[in-house]
């Protein structure tokens, strides 16, 4: 694989843009190919079999571009499909996402941690294993957030409806005394400013985008695949309503970016 090849990133929609920002900051010379599978957003309500099928199809598309690494910028898709992806293409670097349980445990002052995530992530064996490994001595409260991904996908980052939904999900965790909240879906950091205005100053928000970018940098470096200094070229693809995806992307990405139809 040539080191100037792009890095592929995919999510069920535009949530992975939060991860893309961290990748761009840490790896400014890398070209990026992002796929928003918005026709099937959110993955958190889909079956494991369906998520595996979509993840395999999208990865096959990315590898044909070609890309030198694939970031599964979705907690639900990582939990459901990353093992299958690594078995199918053992020579390919796949970097996945998982809720930041370990950093949250280290950050919490009172040992009470709240997790905002999709239903799919919270019911996964991968999440259960994270809790068993890192959170045995703290209190973890989980909160599924149906409807939130769809609002973010529609570009409602500051709307009254989004504020009301966020407040409804966060208030039980705050009443329970949580001093640390894990943003367990890549969409959720995109409404971090709104969330910050709802919660007390002392409550910490933890997500994993920066850690994923650091791991990607490290693994590419080990393989001698970090790009030489260049002006990167970014490409965006979407399934479903591409015009709508493009409109929301304009709110999330610093430069104008057309979205091409994925076609499957």
Q: Which residues are catalytic?
A: 74, 185
The token pair that represents 18 in the structure block:
């939060």
Residues in Cβ contact with 35 at an 8 Å cutoff, skipping those fewer than 6 apart: 8, 9, 10, 11, 58, 61, 62, 236, 237, 238, 262
Work out the angle at residue 123's Cα, subtended by the Cα atoms of residues 110 and 211, and round it to the nearest 5 degrees. Answer: 60
Write down the residue that tokens 């080191």 correspond to. 3
* Burial of 243 (C-beta count, 10 Å sphere; 0-12/13-18/19+): exposed
DSSP assignment string, 122-162? HTSHHHHHHHHHH-TTSEEEEEE-TTHHHHHHTT-SS-HHH
Tell me if the bond preceding 149 is cis, omega within 30° of 0.
no
CA distance readout (Å), 254 to 17, 24, 155, 234, 251: 11, 11, 15, 12, 8
Cβ contact 154:249 at 8 Å: no
Inter-axis angle of helices 209-222 and 17-26, to 10 degrees? Answer: 50
């Amino acid at each position: 694989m040539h080191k100037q090849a792009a890095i592929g990133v995919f999510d069920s929609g535009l949530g992975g843009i939060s991860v893309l920002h961290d990748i761009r900051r840490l790896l400014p010379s890398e070209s990026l190919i992002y796929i928003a599978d918005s026709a099937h957003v959110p993955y958190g309500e889909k079956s494991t079999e369906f998520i595996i099928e979509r993840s395999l199809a999208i990865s096959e598309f990315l590898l044909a571009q070609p890309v030198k690494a694939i970031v599964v910028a979705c907690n639900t898709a990582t939990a459901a499909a990353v093992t299958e992806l690594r078995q199918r293409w053992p020579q390919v670097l796949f970097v996945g996402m998982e809720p930041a349980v370990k950093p949250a445990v280290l950050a919490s002052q009172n040992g009470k941690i709240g997790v905002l995530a999709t239903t799919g992530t919270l019911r996964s064996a991968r999440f259960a294993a994270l809790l068993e490994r890192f959170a045995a001595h703290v209190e973890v409260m989980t909160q599924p957030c149906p409807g939130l991904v769809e609002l973010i996908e529609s570009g409602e980052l500051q709307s009254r409806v989004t504020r009301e939904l966020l407040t409804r999900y966060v208030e039980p965790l705050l009443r329970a005394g949580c001093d640390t909240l894990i943003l367990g879906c890549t969409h959720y950091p995109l409404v971090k400013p709104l969330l910050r205005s709802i919660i007390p100053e002392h409550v910490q928000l933890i997500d994993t985008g920066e850690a994923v970018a650091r791991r990607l940098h490290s693994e590419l470096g080990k393989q001698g695949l970090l790009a030489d200094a260049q002006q990167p070229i970014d490409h965006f693809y979407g399934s479903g309503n591409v015009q709508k995806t493009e409109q929301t992307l304009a709110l999330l990405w610093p430069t104008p970016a057309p979205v091409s139809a994925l076609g499957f």
